[in-house]
Amino acid sequence: MPDRGGGPTGPRIRVGRPSRRVRTLLMTLGVLAVLAMLFVMFAGFWTDWLWYRSVGFSSVFSTTLWTKIGLFFVFGLLMAVAVGLNIWLAHRLRPPLSAMSVEQQSLDRYRMSIAPYKKWVLLGVTALVGLIAGASASGQWRTWLLWVNGVPFGSKDPQFGMDVSFYAFDLPWYRFLLGFGFAATVLSLISAALVHYLYGGLRITSPGARATAAATGHLSVLLGIFVSLKAVAYWLDRYGLAVKSSDLKSTDNWTGLKYVDANAYLPAKTILFCIAVICAVLFFATLWRRTWQLPVIGFGLMVLSAVLIGGLYPAIVQKFQVQPNEQAKEAEYIQKNIDATREAYGITGAKVSDYTGVSNTKDNAKLRADADTTASMRLLDPNVVSPTFQQLQQVRGYYGFPGTLDVDRYKEDGKEQDTVIGLRELDISGIPERNWINDHFKYTHGYGAVTAKGTQTKSGGAPDFTESDLPAKGDLGTYEQRIYYGEKTSQYSIVGGPQKELDYSDASGEKLYSYTGKSGVNLSNPVNRAAYAVAFNEPQILYSGAIGEGSRILYNRTPKERVESVAPWLTIDGDAYPAVVDGRVQWIVDAYTTSNGYPYSSRTTLGDTTADSLTDGQRAVVAQQNQVNYIRNSVKATVDAFDGKVKLYEWDTKDPVLKTWKKAFPGTVKPKSSIDPDLMQHLRYPQDLFKVQRELLTRYHVTNSVQFYSGSEVWQVPNDPTTKSGNAVPPYYLSMKMPDQQAQTFSLSTTFTPKGRENLGAFMAVDADAKSPDYGRIRILKLPSNTTVSGPQQVQSKFNSDTDIANEINILKRGDSEVEYGNLLTVPMDGGLLYVEPVYVRGAGTNYPLLRKVLVSYNDQTAFRNTLVEALDEVFGEQGPSRPSPTEPPGTEQPPSQDPTVREALDDAQKAFEAGQKALQEQDWTGYGKAQDDLQAALKRAADAEAKADQKGDGKSAGEKPGR
């Protein structure tokens, strides 16, 4: 039927057309602009594909890409068809030509202007909504993959008896479909109403019927679909109550049904579902009755019911039934929340034992002996000594160590030794001459690992290095020392081509090298070079003569970045750490599978829970889902520091979320049995998981609902007393034994204080040694609620307020020296708690911290001595076994060595140090390297001479030696 139209038209104005040459030029420019935009888009896609192929995870890229493309086209097409069909149908159902009203006359000009372009308008509108809907749907690729590959958890929620997988995998997808259905229906309804109005199917001011029968039927069907979707939403809301967030008096971030949910909201949702179904039927019935009277009444009843049944009734139940006796009413639901939360966070097996906190043992000799065997006190704090590593082992200004070093275990004389380790990574800011060639071709990698004993230092307080120098040598043996991938390596490098790299420098000069690994993307192909020139916004990549046959570009070089890229479905721990494994430096990265849909389990915000006084941008947790209520350390990943190769190993073999992702990305995760035994020696319990669990255990160590509700046993993680940040104390790795253990094991530990108080409330440790049969077992020592045992803040305050200690601290601060406190270690021993804290001094001349004193406290007895041995002897009034005192600095209480060889060596060391500082100021890197070599040689001569002197005095006990 022809559109209405007609009426006079205005005079035509002839506009001169541009010349043919101009038109050709404009067309050419337009084509070139389109080609440029297409190539920019292609460059991003192509470089991503090349990178994933280079790391051997092309299946992750293709699976993710095709899933996004599929969702984009399927849901984009569905939305376009839904909206387009309803626009077409509304146009098709327009009324015939009739008497013109004032309203219709005013609409005529719009109809006339649209008439020649109706098809293009239809295509344009449908294409636009389709693109928007498709783009939105493609972002749901994780939800789709979880739904289509989901495996059962094997446990059911206590309210509906549904497997947990329904809430974790199915319900999110159903909610997305429901949201998409609502969007399609609303857009179709709006579009159809506009078309009906434009062509007279709907009238606002015209006399007579406000809508034609055809328009009434069409819009009623759409409204019926909308109400039907609302009925589905009410039904899904019933299950959504099991994962709904709310607050309870006893806890925040509560998830699951409470009394009012089970006894008011749940029946209300069921009633509203039934009303919505009836209302939808009434809307569909207008196809025959051609009147909106009953549907409007039904819709009004549904809205009124939603207010009264869905809002007012639950409020009445909460006010008059729950609040007067909340504890009794909520007890059943609190217990469900406790059980689900403990299961979801892996803390069900946490063992809580009573602990007095005060030792009644009178045998000081036994206490002194136990102090040596209960824990290997780590005096070298990895959070403090990085500047010392930097000063003594940087060697060249373009190398650097991370601000916080790592703690691992390496064998010494067949026994495991807690070891502080850091890699000498490339620090691009220290390159003497900054330019494109130096930044990306010449200075490409760091060199070597540096390790030091965690439990002792050298005379003078410097770390006792077990692997040092450049090239590194020591206890680690022979290994590939070049560090192309690391935490500080964020820039891209081009290696393996005509331009040689600086390998390292020594006294004989610079050593050059050309990369022989298979990592990175080959740039021999001109298409690849052009793509990377565009992707990195660096035109020189396209034409530089430094790039040729064999050139490879390395990027995405931090361990966390690489693991997150190849496994975008994992949440990455904030602290990757290096280990020398089978002759290679491997970065070990802990990764988690998480979910936000575990019924009844309380939610936690990863970014907040994992923050402590040491968290910074380098150590922050990488999380796709910030809020979670289920977490497992399901994957251990490694990144080779030389060739960047990424390996993912299954760790939690029972985790259903990991099983689901393995179905979605088959072949990407290796079985746990393929973990090399040498690698297993260095795997440990991850810090971020421990921090999440300790935060939950501040409340969920209580398993009785009544006690949980009262909040009388709530703990808190104390602030770090050694800093002024006001942030939580970090957990510490330490080899120790808990009261029920027979031998020391590598552990991760923390303390708790009662909420609002500073005395100690509990001590928590987890077996962190991956080789241990008790790996992951959480032990909690709970102190009596009326205890007066000092917590970390109080112990630190006692240290600071002790007059004798304060005087010695002031002496250490003389001149411009600064005092820094190391980790305040807490160890349960013989019913009491032993606190040990190393004290460092950053001298004005050295400007890096050296261990000078050790603070020890036990049963309120405090000592502040040069060595741990002396401090323990003083606290317990007994001398420990004869052994060297590694932390004793010369010039405090021990007289200088009278051995002329030692004196001569120390003089040479001082001269070498001064020469190195002068060379450093003048940026004479060759001279600085030579001075460092001389310094190390002199210190070695002094150490050898002291060792010989000690051998002569073997007949004397440690207590008989001067200064001991």
pLDDT confidence bin for 267, thresholds 50/70/90: very high
Q: What are phi and psi of 776, to 5 degrees?
A: 85, 0
- Write out pLDDT tens, residues 641-657: 999 999 999 999 999 99
Residue bearing the bigger pLDDT, 940 or 76:
76
CA distance 504 to 626: 42
Strand, coil or helix: what is 727?
Answer: coil
Residue bearing the bigger pLDDT, 689 or 10:
689
Percent of the chain with pLDDT over 90: 45
CA distance 248 to 60: 42
Residue-level pLDDT at 313: 87
- Write out pLDDT tens, residues 232-265: 999 999 999 999 887 766 566 788 899 998 999 9
Cross-strand partners of 631: 594
Q: How many residues does the chain have?
A: 964
Q: Name the strand (E) or helix (H) holding 422.
A: strand 415-423
**Is it the case that residue 685 has pLDDT exceeding 80?**
yes
Residue bearing the bigger pLDDT, 3 or 509:
509
Least confident of 114-118, 222-226, 439-443: 114-118
Residue-level pLDDT at 957: 35
> What is the mean predicted confidence (pLDDT) over 316-345?
90
* DSSP per residue, 102-125: HHHHHHHHHHHHHGGGHHHHHHHH
Burial class, 16, CB count within 10 angstroms (exposed 0-12 / middle 13-18 / buried 19+): exposed
Residue-level pLDDT at 136: 93
Q: What is the pTM of this model?
A: 0.84
Residue bearing the bigger pLDDT, 908 or 525:
525
pLDDT confidence bin for 806, thresholds 50/70/90: confident
Strand, coil or helix: what is 286?
Answer: helix
Amino acid identity of residue 112, one-letter, is M
Percent of the chain with pLDDT over 70: 86
Residue-level pLDDT at 626: 75
Express the helix, strand and coil content of the chain in percent, nearest 5 each. 45, 20, 35
Residue-level pLDDT at 895: 40
pLDDT confidence bin for 28, thresholds 50/70/90: confident
- Write out pLDDT tens, residues 737-794: 999 888 889 999 999 999 888 889 999 999 999 999 999 999 999 998 877 888 888 8
Which among 158, 148, 261 is positioned nearest to 598, based on CA atoms?
A: 158
pLDDT confidence bin for 8, thresholds 50/70/90: very low
Which among 594, 524, 587, 593 is positioned nearest to 560, based on CA atoms?
A: 587
Residue appearing with tokens 């327009």: 94
**Is it the case that residue 303 has pLDDT exceeding 90?**
no
CA distance 290 to 419: 83
Residue bearing the bigger pLDDT, 800 or 247:
800
Residue-level pLDDT at 619: 65
Quote the mean pLDDT of the chain.
Answer: 84
Cross-strand partners of 420: 407, 452
Residue-level pLDDT at 235: 95
Residue-level pLDDT at 948: 62
> What is the mean predicted confidence (pLDDT) over 201-210?
64
Residue-level pLDDT at 697: 94
Residue-level pLDDT at 937: 77
Angle between helix axes 20-54 and 559-566 (nearest 10 degrees) is 100
Contact status, residue 794 vs residue 758, Cβ threshold 8 Å: yes
**Is it the case that residue 901 has pLDDT exceeding 90?**
no
CA distance 532 to 527: 9
| Highest mean pLDDT of the ranges 357-371, 440-454, 907-921 | 440-454
CA distance 240 to 167: 8
Residue-level pLDDT at 590: 95
Contact status, residue 547 vs residue 541, Cβ threshold 8 Å: yes
Residue-level pLDDT at 599: 95
pLDDT confidence bin for 920, thresholds 50/70/90: low
pLDDT confidence bin for 576, thresholds 50/70/90: very high
**Is it the case that residue 185 has pLDDT exceeding 50?**
yes
Residue bearing the bigger pLDDT, 850 or 910:
850
Identify the DSSP state of 731: P
CA distance 164 to 146: 13
Residue-level pLDDT at 897: 47
- Write out pLDDT tens, residues 331-376: 999 999 999 999 999 999 998 999 998 888 888 888 988 888 899 8
> What is the mean predicted confidence (pLDDT) over 453-473?
88
CB neighbourhood size of 526 (10 A): 9
Residue-level pLDDT at 693: 95
CA angle (788, 791, 796) in 5-degree steps: 120
Residue appearing with tokens 């036994």: 366
User: For residue 393, what are its two tokens?
Assistant: 């082992």
CA distance 168 to 239: 12
Residues 6 or more apart in contact with residue 311 via CB below 8 angstroms? none
446-447/627-628 β-pairing: unpaired
Which among 323, 169, 166, 340 is positioned nearest to 253, based on CA atoms?
A: 340
pLDDT confidence bin for 947, thresholds 50/70/90: low
- Write out pLDDT tens, residues 520-535: 999 988 899 999 999 9
